[in-house]
């Protein structure tokens, strides 16, 4: 399961769960466009999580969200081992604002962002494999 979270500042793993106590959760969504809307500012980032559907992993539950649209999911505990990417929001916003994409309906932008994120992750993996070879 792929989840997204938008932050207005850089991700700081040491801050996850600090103030919440032993049982803490972090909000994510299944919609990259919704996550991007939360990643405001020049330092904003979108965290991409790949959480396996089975096996020992982070506990994920669906939470109530008064707004209709994307699902709100709570990831309980630390989730660092499931991070697939931390993408600067300004890079994603620049791609969404390009000619041909900016004028499309908002209902298509999550699919466009999913494809961009897949491409971004694939490029980073390819670059990492080339560097280690």
Mean pLDDT taken over the chain: 84
| Overall pTM > 0.95 | no
Sorting pLDDT into bands at 50, 70 and 90, what band is 19? low
| 116: phi then psi, degrees, rounded to nearest 5 | -65, -40
Average pLDDT over residues 97-121: 88
- Give the per-residue pLDDT at 35: 94
Sorting pLDDT into bands at 50, 70 and 90, what band is 2? very high
Average pLDDT over residues 114-132: 84
Please calculate the CA angle 126-128-133 and round it to the nearest 5 degrees.
95
Please count the structural domains in the chain: 1
Residue position matching structure tokens 């992993």: 57
State the residue range of the domain holding 68.
2-132
């Amino acid at each position: 399961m792929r989840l997204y979270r938008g932050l207005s500042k850089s991700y700081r793993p040491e801050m996850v769960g600090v103030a919440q106590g032993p049982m803490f959760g972090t909000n994510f969504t299944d919609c990259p466009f919704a996550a991007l809307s939360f990643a405001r500012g020049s330092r904003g980032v979108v965290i991409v999580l790949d959480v396996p559907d089975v096996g020992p992993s982070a506990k994920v539950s669906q939470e109530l969200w008064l707004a209709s649209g994307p699902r709100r999911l709570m990831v309980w505990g630390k989730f660092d081992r499931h991070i697939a990417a931390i993408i600067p929001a300004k890079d994603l916003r620049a791609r969404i604002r390009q000619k041909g994409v900016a004028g499309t309906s908002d209902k298509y932008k999550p699919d466009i962002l999913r494809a961009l994120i897949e491409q971004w992750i694939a490029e980073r993996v390819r670059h990492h494999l080339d560097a280690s070879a």
